Chains A and B, each alone.
Chain A
Amino acid sequence: MPKLLLEIGCEELPATACMEAGLQLPDLATEHLGVVPDELWIGPRRLAFPATVPERTADTWVQGPPENLREQAAAGFARRHGVEVGDLVVREGFLGLEVPGVPVEEALPERLAAIVTGLQFAKSMTWGAGFRFARPVRWICAKLDDRTIEAALEGVERGGHTYGHRLTAPGRIEVPSATDYLPTLRAAGVEPDRAVRYERIVAGLDALGLWSDPADKLDEVVYLVEQARVQEGSFDARFLELPERVVITTMQSHQRYFPLGGNRFAFVANGGDPDVVRAGNEFVLRGRLEDAEFTYRRDVDVGIEGLAERLKAITFLRGAGTFADKSDRLVALVAALGGDGDAAEAARLAKADQASELVREFPELEGHIGATYARLAGAPPEVVRAIDEQYRPDSSGGPLPQSRAGALLAAADKLDTLNVVFGLGKRPTGSRDPFGLRRAAIGLCRLAVEGDVVVPRELLVGDVRDFVEERLEGLLDVPVQFVRAARASAAADLAGVARQARMLARAERTDEFEAVLTAFERAHRLAGRAEAEAAPVLDPALLEAGAERDLADALGGAAIEVDDGLEAAAALAPHVNRYFDDVLVMADDPAVRANRLRLLLDVRDALGRLGDFAQIQRAGERAS
């Protein structure tokens, strides 16, 4: 079968666009060519693939009207398809048209164009051709064996030629046949295969020693070059006095270098004279580090206390005061969470770096920069660590603070943001969550559940409580119904809700659980909907001796507490059952009836301290 080669020649595509194209091309090839590409060759200036295609396209069947409507509809159908009624054939009761396949060469121009225009990018642009792309498409090279195919796309150069490396082989190069594509480009200074470039970069980095890539730049760099030459550079060791992460961020985020430890770094070049390119890159890095150093020194001269002082002039959120106000709230919150003097001190200084110039340059290093300045001012290590860790966890799987004060401060910060933003009526809607409240809520839950921070539920103001506790449903590995039940329990803090949910899930199918569930259901079913009729409080004088008084006594003596109340609750269950067997709740005397309903409601509420059992479906009744 013939070999097809398609190359979409572009101006430099962003790495994300390369990845998007790599994901879509197999499906687009399948849709329009009926085959999966043999390989994918993705890079910044060309998206290419080879494929083995059949000689002819498949025959197709265009179905028309049912045969019994031949009189009414056949002529119209034939006219629409440009054939005579006599050309129509019948298949399985329908009139239709058999369209025989054509040589693939004839179909390819349209189909290749459909692949090119079928690519969708999150960010796309127009430039004068009739379709959108991530960056302008400048040529399309297509070969079927040694034949040239001209894709049906106006406004783009098309043919059997390509272009080599932009700087070393910029001219037009003929591709003799589909199978010559790779060697042709390699001879022109281009490595089209991402996997080869990747291996080459990794090998080059390994050869330079222990390299690191904390910001995951390798996956991007592999799409920034058409050839991959790894080089080494270094910078003045005096910059090692800067906060380490400032140096690393400067290397990684801005320049996409790979730190090699100490004052050495590696970078990937796309060409040029190695000495010139190294000197240039070292020069750029020095400039950036000097800029950071300049800013850093200005901040250090002001000092962390001076920066904290400036917070009075910086608005946190319109309607929620300044960052100084936020700091005051944080101090109060960490105290409410049980923090000690270190935690309070960390809370007082936590936001000081928002006033620093260095955070304006490196917003992703907020917290870390403040911690550095606090350390320079002689703050105790626990305080420094807490300031450093205050934004953790910063992603749903991210690490938690390692220090106690850090965990408390992180929880207080999230709690405050949630309460304040909700208080301003700006809760997240749909996919819009500009203040990162979902992440804050998940972080708060994790700090409570995994980080042992006791977060009293009463600190979650208004709707924040539901919003935060709903996150537990996704976070805990127990069925949602148990989390929902536990949210209605008497648990006093967030972690308590989680413990209760797990306890209920574990206890399911035990006799005790069954007994409590049944007792709750019976009490709730009867009295729950007659709540208005019930007496406001139980009147012991109206209780009848026997089952009724026994139940009231048992209830009075039962200590049903969250965490370990299941046994006590289960002990109540037989009394409830006897009460239902022996006592007529809906008595004729309204006062007695009201009292009996009250007793049942009290039973339900006592059991309900363990959770809202109405949320729980019996295992057997649950749809599996």
Chain B
Amino acid sequence: MILDLERYWAAQGCVLLTPYHTEVAAGTMNPATFLRSLGPKPWKTAYLEPVIRPLDGRYGENPMRFQHYFQYQVILKPSPPDVLDLYLASLAEIGLDMAHHDIRFVEDDWEQPTVGAWGLGWEVWCDGMEITQFTYFQQLGGLDLDLIPAEITYGLDRLAMLVQGTPTVFDLVWAEGVTWADVYRENERQWSHYNFEAAPVDVLTRRFGEHEDEARGLVELELPLPAYDQVLKANHAFNLLDARGAISVAERAAYIARIRDLVRGVAQLYLSQQEARAEAAA
């Protein structure tokens, strides 16, 4: 399925990337989406992204909730007029027969206050199941976008269930004779244990501060790309602290504000460099 998507989107002119090397809570946070969506330069990419959401772990007991799962992410900037048709054709490519299914685009407005971002779009339903998030970004890092990208985020586990007709994610066939459960269930158990019970609060709290400081320092050195990695690491530390129950409601808002400030600083710097480069080229 992943190979089919790769082939299809490569044929549409997308740059195929590999998953990012540090933990992200959504494919959107990968710099290939988040930073590249800023600025005047067109950009098309497609990549697989394992997303890490410590709070969503269920010790491998709940067959629909995991702290680690897969998204397939496509960015088309600017969005072409036939973008929805392109998307529907990609579903046919992975074996969903449009004539048999009820595909729906159900309003879903996306907002991520942690990173000052919002967009309008849909959750795409196939026979009532959400299989994709589709978003036209409007703002990222608090900045209006020059070219409006379309973001297509496939929920691969669910799509695979649909295509394979398995009752749960556990039963997905990963390779012949090997199921999802064989590959990942023990991971879920151990990581849930770590996320909820074992992750060291004092160390994570200290690391959050260190990543924050380093990100600021790198912004001053005008290095937005390494700075952005530090923001991702700080964000992951925050998510772990959150899962550990170490953040009160009041503190939460303060942490979110700190991350938002970092993201804003990095996004502004990245954008100004992009614009300067575009001007120099013109």
Contact = CB atoms under 8 A, between A and B. Distances in A.
Contact of A280 (B128, B136, B147): B128
Contacts of B128: 255, 267, 277, 280-281, 284-285
B79 interface: yes
B101 A276 contact: yes
A168 B99 CA distance: 7
B249 to A, nearest CB: 4
Interface string A294-313: 10000000000000000001
Given A126-B138, A168-B99, A267-B128, A315 B120 contact: no
A319 to B, nearest CB: 8
Nearest to A11: B84
A272 B181 CA distance: 32
B185 interface: no
Nearest to A124: B120
B102 A272 contact: yes
A284 B249 contact: no
Interface in B2-58: 58
Interface string A255-290: 100000000000101111100110111011101001
Interface string B82-107: 00110010000000001111111111
B81 A135 contact: no
Chain B contact residues: helix, strand, loop or mixed: loop
**In the complex, which of the residues B85, B122, B128 has the most CB atoms of chain A within 10 Å of its own CB atom?**
B128
A224 B106 contact: yes
Contacts of A170: 85
B249 A167 contact: no
Nearest to B98: A167
Interface in A102-146: 123, 125-128, 134-136, 138
Given A126-B138, A128-B78, A281 B127 contact: yes
A224 B102 CA distance: 12
Contact of B250 (A271, A313, A318): A318
A269 B103 CA distance: 9
B121 to A, nearest CB: 8
A314 B106 CA distance: 35
A277 B78 CA distance: 34
Interface string B205-236: 00000000000000000000000000000000
Interface size class of B (residues with CB under 8 A): 35 or more
Interface stretch (B62-70, B189-197, B259-267, B268-276): B62-70
B85 A273 contact: no
Given A11-B84, A170-B85, 11 more contacts: A11-B105, A127-B136, A166-B88, A167-B102, A270-B102, A272-B102, A276-B101, A277-B100, A284-B127, A291-B65, A318-B250
**In the complex, which of the residues B85, B88, B100 has the most CB atoms of chain A within 10 Å of its own CB atom?**
B100
Contacts of A267: 128
B147 A128 contact: yes
Interface string B107-132: 10100000000011010001111000
A136 B119 CA distance: 13
A127 B249 contact: no
B249 A315 contact: yes
A269 B64 contact: no
Nearest to B58: A294
A313 B147 CA distance: 46
A12 B127 contact: no
Interface in B120-158: 120, 122, 126-129, 136, 138, 147-148
Nearest to B248: A315
B63 A280 contact: no
A66 interface: no
Contact of A291 (B64, B101, B245): B64
Interface in A144-192: 157, 166-168, 170
A15 interface: yes
Nearest to A268: B102
A256 to B, nearest CB: 8
Interface residues of A, number: 45
A14 interface: yes
Contact of B249 (A134, A269, A318): A318
B61 interface: yes
Nearest to A281: B128
A529 B218 CA distance: 70
B61 A294 contact: yes
A127 B217 CA distance: 35
B93 to A, nearest CB: 16
B204 interface: no
A220 to B, nearest CB: 9
B120 A12 contact: no
Contacts of B257: none
B97 to A, nearest CB: 9
Contacts of B120: 123, 125, 134-135
B201 interface: no
Contact of B129 (A15, A269, A284): A284
B127 A272 contact: yes
B84 A127 contact: no
B147 A277 contact: no
Contact of A125 (B65, B85, B126, B138): B138
B162 interface: yes
Given A279-B127, A281-B127, A128 B85 contact: no
Interface string A16-37: 1000000000000000000000
A126 B148 contact: yes
Contacts of B126: 280
Nearest to B169: A287
25 contacts: A11-B105, A12-B104, A12-B105, A125-B120, A127-B79, A128-B79, A136-B79, A166-B88, A224-B106, A255-B128, A269-B102, A270-B103, A271-B103, A272-B102, A276-B127, A277-B128, A280-B102, A280-B127, A280-B128, A283-B127, A284-B128, A290-B64, A291-B64, A291-B65, A314-B249
B148 A127 contact: yes
A127 B120 CA distance: 10
Nearest to A233: B128
Given A135-B120, A157-B81, A290-B63, A280 B250 contact: no
A313 B244 CA distance: 13
**In the complex, which of the residues B58, B81, B126 has the most CB atoms of chain A within 10 Å of its own CB atom?**
B81
Interface in B156-190: 162, 167-168
Contacts of A126: 138, 148
B103 A167 contact: yes
B208 to A, nearest CB: 20
B111 to A, nearest CB: 11
Contacts of B79: 127-128, 136
Nearest to B79: A127
A388 B62 CA distance: 28
